[in-house]
Structure 1
Amino acid sequence: MVKHYVGSEVGQLRSVLLHYDSLAFERLTPSNCHELLFDDVLSVNKAAEEHNQFATILEEQGVNVLYLNKLLGETLDIPEAKAWLLDTQLSDYRLGKSLAHSVKTWLGELPHEQIARYLTGGLAYSEIPEPFFKPLFDSYDWEHFVLKPLPNHLFTRDTSCWIYNGVSINPMAKAVRRRESNNLKAIYRWHPLFVKQDFNYYLGNESVNYDNTTIEGGDVLIIGRGAVLIGLSERTSPEGIEALAQSLFNTGQAKKVVVIELPKDRACMHLDTVLTQLDINVFSAYPAVINDSTRCWTLTPGVNNRLGIKQELGYRQAIMSALQLSDLKVITTGGDIYGQEREQWNDANNVLTIRPGVVIGYECNTLTNDKYLEAGIEVLSFEGDQLGRGRGGARCMSCPIERDGI
């Protein structure tokens, strides 16, 4: 049985959630890729090979790999979950009452594995058998989607993140990613792996309009010892940080939240694209963004359900204080300023630590990988030429469910 606890970024990784389904990428085209937050289309077969390399490394290192679509299909076996998912993802307000009813009637008879594929990979109007295609007005473009594909489900880190003994099902910043959260809500609420387990919900378990409160898991680093590092970024708002921090403190799952300000820029859309933890006192950082001038604050529980806030002199001092460290080693992205920019864009800093001093990352980032090795960090590398086109590396593509503390 998986223990639902993530106590750090660098303790032994024991169980992780991944996702790769070719259907969403088969539907990624030059005309829709930017809307779907990809820089280009992918070679579907090559991307699948790369993702398989990633999963194989994890399994060879003793990590239990769970797959989102498999869990989603198994969740659909539960009638209440199936009804909720179909009503939520194909609501009357999304499709109109006539079409929503007929599509749900047709989908509901399909094998649950196929329904799961449509929920993540997208469903085109042209795939609906004619007897069930019953919109009120005959004005639909059959090349378009009833459900848009969700290629960003690849980045399982963002949609939900486990923080100590609890999970945040994150209110996503981009509209094209918000349906992802519903798939995770159903899995965590009904799947047998989770339904009888004792864990906290921080955000996302309520039916509320989160409005400006957005947060994504790539901005959340569980650095251990009751501390959490959060990026104030393009995707994570001040309101999102305040809500998550307050929930962490109210449940007693964190004592400090360190907030690091990032430029509102796609190149560093999440904190983990410019800063990750490789060992208890070792971090990787992109120096053009993470440096001594980067603004940083520490949040602590305050009185009357308010937050205490202190502006820090720098991120190093804030992290050392949170982790009770006397020193902090920072390995910067490899190369000159041009090489650093290229390798950061290709996720050189977005590595997944599987135990202290051992990380997984893309093999193309040779300059940075060499610096890791020189510093005593072991790099288990895999190809990522296709996967990287979504602007995410090994950490982005993994949602730890169980990890030791430090």
Structure 2
Amino acid sequence: MTLTDQDFKIDVTSEIGNLRVLLVHSPDSGLGKVVPSKAQDWLFEDIVHLDTMRRKEYDYYIKLLMYFLDPAKIKGKLSEIDSAETKRDFFKPDNAAFHNSTKVIEIQTLLGDILQKDDIRKKLVAAVCAIESCNYRLQLQLIDTAPIELAKIFISGSLDDDTMIFAPIPNLIFSRDLGIAINNHILLNKPAKKARSRETLLMRYIFFNHPMFEAYRNNIIEISENKQHFLRPGEVNEEKTTLEGGDVMMVSPQHLIIGCSERTSISGANEAIKLLFENDVVSKITIVKIPHKRDYMHIDTVFTQVKRNMWVLLRSLTITETEQSQNEPIAWFADKKNKDKPEIVQFRKGKKPKTFDTLEALLDNISQKDLESTEPTKFIYSGNDEFPFDAREQWTDSCNLLALKDGVVLGYDRNDKTVEAFKQSGFNVIHVTDLLPKFETGEIDPQKMKDTLILMPSAELSRARGGFHCMSMPLKRDSVF
């Protein structure tokens, strides 16, 4: 990387400010080695077709990001890049045609950079071999492996894309889960599942050792286990201290949301509150407790922000008991209260906690009070709030959108009813395959786009159970004020 700490700034104060820099990881060969018998252990619901995911889906994501964040790398070169794809990939760092952007930063590139240093390489090899139970001869072999190749091995789990020496880490494409930029700090997360241990280790080494983050070493916050956690009974304990990035949203300069979910524990949220308040990173943290269900997993699977006064969310999580009782024809609501209704508590430094009855109430408060919207808050519901499409489309990430700027968001092209809801809310909708040529000719200027849902191909990406919010770790956004 040519980027140094002199050029680089961490600054994220919202979910919707113009996106300037982010970390991503493009699909690697490890995703093509997930087998059905291990899919759920490796946190996948299905196996994917790697080549389709790479060339016909994720490739569009990287190109779109380039037009918004680093146009000099792509404007005027699209046909050349497309023609080269049969031989080399624009999005993979070990290929000749790799973009090597300093705005759309590939995790594998950063890993390769730090492995150039002998002492770091030896330490990281030892750490990886320890958690993967490798033998000593293999450890020596890895130490002597070229840094760029070693980075691939650490991620894919394979030597020469052939011999598997340990499990792949296919979830690395969901870069957000491993770290979150909060103002000018980085919160290093603590994933819940063993399958993500190596990812966490690699990201920790990157943040603490890459020169790009040199100026921010004292601004890196690590989540630790509770003291004497090793005395807890049993191998599996629900009170483990865990926190994942899909449960963390920086919604305004002083306000952070943390979800308690299947992947983020109460203990993890408490530890984050303590550390963030102690370090004066934010002054207000809202805890949103959602059911521990695979359907939801993280809070960003049930709501994300579209623009200053608009959010997309799953309405079934917010329906009140009164509304349910009035909805008698709906059999699945009969004879039960809304057990899935979130519990929402807001903590403010020096003030008493505050509660919210519904997600809409919280999100309206953020738009109107924190972000000072001059327009009423609006909500777009998954599946256009129609059963069974609301649940079906939430499962395929209708609520997991990435805002490139206020009002311009990315989502999957398969969520038809949610797309209808966006249109009814006055949004333009365009498919990325139609949009990129218009960027190239200058017919559309990315910086002038407003109120637009950009649809992305999703047949294989959606099988991984994560949308573009999951597949991004923003490091710099413009201020919304």
Deviation at 1:369, TM superposition (A): 2.1
**In the alignment, what sits opposite 1:313?**
357
Residue ranges of structure 2 left out of the alignment (5+ in a row): 1-6, 71-102, 230-238, 321-340, 428-450
Deviates more, 1:107-116 or 1:75-84: 75-84
Counterpart position of 2:389: 339
Counterpart of 1:80 (choices 72, 94, 119) is 119
Contact 1:298 1:318 in 2 (8 A): no
1:354 and 2:404 are equivalent in the alignment: yes
Mapped to 1, the partners of 2:218 and 2:311 lie a distance apart of 29
Matched position secondary structure for 2:316? coil
| 1:69 and 2:108 are equivalent in the alignment | yes
From the superposition, tell whether residues 8 and 44 of structure 1 become closer, same or farther in structure 2 (CA, over 3 Å): same
Structure 1 residues 289 and 18, CA gap change in structure 2 (3 angstroms)? same
Aligned equivalent of 1:181: 200
TM-score by length of 2: 0.74
Of 73-82 and 172-181, more deviation after overlay is shown by: 73-82
Helix, strand or coil: the match of 1:361? strand
- Are residue 283 (structure 1) and residue 283 (structure 2) matched? no
Query: Is 1:249 the counterpart of 2:277 in the alignment?
Result: yes
Residue deviations 1:262-312 (CA, integer Å, cap 9, x gap): 111111101011100111121111111244553211012259xxxx53332
Q: Which residue of 2 aligns with 1:389?
A: 463
Q: Report the equivalent of 2:332.
A: none
* Matches of 2:51 and 2:242, distance apart in 1: 33
Does the 8 A contact of 1:21 with 1:121 survive in 2?
no
Residue 140 of structure 1: aligned partner: none
Paired AA for residue 126 in structure 2: D
Who is 2:17 aligned against?
11
Give the secondary structure class of the aligned counterpart of 2:259: strand
The amino acid that maps onto 2:345 is: W
Residues 349, 321 of structure 1: CA spacing in aligned structure 2 closer, same or farther, 3 A cutoff? closer
Q: Which moved more, 1:285-294 or 1:103-112?
A: 285-294
Amino acid at match of 1:157: R
In structure 2, relative to structure 1, the CA distance for the partners of 1:315 and 1:26 (3 Å cut) is closer
Q: Which amino acid aligns with 2:129?
A: L
Question: What's the offset of the Cα at 1:199?
Answer: 5.7
CA contact under 8 A between 2:254 and 2:283: conserved in structure 1?
Answer: yes
For residues 206 and 263 of structure 1, what CA distance do their matches in structure 2 show?
23
User: Which residue does 2:259 correspond to in 1?
Assistant: 231
Letter of the 1:111 partner, please give it: A
Summarize deviations over 1:55-81 as a string: whole Å, max 9, x none: 111111125211111111111012232
Structure 1 stretch 291-300 or stretch 14-23: which is displaced more? 291-300
- Asked if residue 51 in structure 1 is aligned to residue 58 in structure 2, the reply is yes
Q: CA deviation at 1:207?
A: 12
Mapped contact 2:223–2:272 kept (Cα < 8 A)? no
Aligned to 1:294: 342
CA drift of 1:388 comes to 1.1
CA distance in 2, matches of 1:209, 1:276: 36
2-structure distance, mates of 1:71, 1:121: 16
Which residue of 2 is the match for residue 161 of structure 1? 180
Q: What is the SS of the residue equivalent to 1:235?
A: coil
- Once residues 220 and 406 of structure 2 are traced to their aligned partners in structure 1, the CA distance between those partners, rounded to angstroms, is 28
Letter in 1 for 2:378: K
What is the rounded CA distance, in whole Å, between the counterparts of 2:303 and 2:132 in structure 1? 38
Q: Secondary structure at the match of 2:312?
A: strand
- Please list every run of at least 4 consecutive aligned residues from structure 1 whose deviation after the TM superposition is greater than 6 angstroms: 124-128, 205-211
Structure 1 residue ranges without an equivalent (≥5): 129-144
Q: 1:118 aligns with which of 146, 149, 153?
A: 153
Please list the CA deviations of residues 96-144 of structure 1 after superposition, one character each: whole Å capped at 9, or x if unmatched: 6xx1x2112101111111111111111479977xxxxxxxxxxxxxxxx
Secondary structure of the 2:222 match is coil
Q: Which residue of 1 aligns with 2:475?
A: 401
Q: Deviations over 1:187-245 (max 9, x none)?
A: 11111211234661222489999771101000111101311112111001111111111
Change in Cα spacing, 1:391 to 1:15, as seen in structure 2 (3 Å) is: same
SS at match of 1:193: helix
Pick the aligned partner of 1:22 from 21, 24, 28: 28
Q: Are residues 199 and 4 of structure 1, via their aligned partners in 2, closer, same or farther at CA, if it must alter by over 3 Å? A: farther
Aligned residue number for residue 132 of structure 1:
none
SS at match of 1:71: helix
Stretch deviating more after TM superposition (59-68 or 350-359)? 59-68
Structure 1 match to 2:144: 109
Amino acid paired to 2:423: L
Q: 1:328 aligns with which of 377, 391, 398?
A: 377
**Bigger Cα displacement from structure 2, 286-295 vs 352-361:** 286-295
CA offset at residue 28 of structure 1?
0.9
Q: Deviations over 1:371-406 (max 9, x none)?
A: 223323311121111111111001101111111232
1:369 equivalent in alignment to 2:419? yes
- Let me know the Cα RMSD of the aligned residues: 2.5
Distance in 2 of aligned mates of 1:112 and 1:273: 36
TM-score, length-scaled by structure 1: 0.88
Q: Distance in 2 between matches of 1:14 and 1:199?
A: 23
